[in-house]
């Protein structure tokens, strides 16, 4: 399984690069590697702190990334996961098309992923608002930890007035103008969240 993941990761790296340069739409799996962010944030201290967080390490994933099934959102989620899983960040991310168990019931897979993730990043786009599974996953995350500071809305091409009512009281990260800055903020949030 580890060799298969490594092989998929190499294929994925090529696919992500090709996809980003050609901006073609496809539904492929994403895996780790990449470059470091433009923002430095005393990562040595934060990484050591995160390594010692028993609550974070008791879960299989650091971040559950929820996104719509529209190609554009799948690609953005892939770029986010690619960034977060790359060294030196090396976070453990759940990405639906890559990490779901084939043959598993969709709702069961989603519920398990939510329960087994330290934070829940919701990629809120106009398509997210129309996707019933996204609404389902958002409500699962809210039910799991409504006031836990573990739900992170990531707004993309969306005005604040379009946010789901359930998320309006939660601070969000805007990816519209500077996605790498937003990815870095999410990474830092994972490292600070108990």
Over residues 84-104, the pLDDT tens digits come to 999 888 899 988 888 777 888
pLDDT of residue 67: 93
- What would the DSSP string read from start to end of 30-56? --S-----S----HHHHHHHHHT-HHH
Q: Report whether pLDDT(123) > 90.
A: yes
* Residue 82 near residue 18, CB atoms below 8 Å: no
Q: How many other C-beta atoms are found inside a 10 Å radius of the C-beta of residue 57?
A: 13
pTM exceeding the 0.75 threshold for the entire prediction? no
Q: Report whether pLDDT(124) > 80.
A: yes
The DSSP call for residue 194 is -
Least confident of 92-96, 112-116, 133-137, 161-165: 112-116
pLDDT of residue 118: 85
Least confident of 65-69, 80-84, 95-99, 174-178: 95-99
Across the chain, mean pLDDT equals 74
Token pair, residue 168, equals 């309006």
Q: Report whether pLDDT(54) > 50.
A: yes
Q: Report whether pLDDT(49) > 80.
A: no
Tallying the residues shown for the chain, one arrives at 194
pLDDT of residue 140: 85
**Domain annotation for the chain: domains and CATH numbers:** 2-192 (3.40.50.10140)
């Amino acid at each position: 399984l580890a060799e298969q993941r490594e092989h998929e990761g190499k294929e994925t790296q090529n696919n992500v690069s090709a996809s980003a340069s050609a901006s073609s739409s496809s539904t492929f799996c994403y895996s780790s590697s990449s470059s470091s962010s433009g923002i430095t944030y005393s990562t040595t201290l934060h990484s050591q702190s995160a390594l010692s967080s028993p609550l974070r390490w008791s879960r299989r994933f650091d971040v559950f990334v929820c996104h719509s099934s529209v190609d554009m959102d799948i690609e953005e989620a892939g770029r986010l996961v690619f960034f977060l899983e790359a060294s030196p960040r090396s976070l453990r991310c759940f990405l639906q098309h890559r990490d779901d168990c084939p043959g598993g019931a969709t709702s069961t897979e989603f519920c398990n992923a939510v329960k087994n993730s330290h934070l829940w990043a919701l990629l809120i786009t106009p398509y997210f608002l129309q996707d019933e599974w996204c609404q389902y996953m958002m409500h699962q995350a809210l039910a799991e930890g409504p006031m836990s500071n573990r739900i992170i809305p990531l707004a993309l091409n969306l005005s604040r007035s379009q946010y789901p009512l359930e998320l309006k009281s939660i601070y969000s990260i805007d990816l519209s103008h500077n996605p790498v800055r937003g990815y870095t903020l999410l990474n830092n949030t994972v490292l600070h969240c108990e």
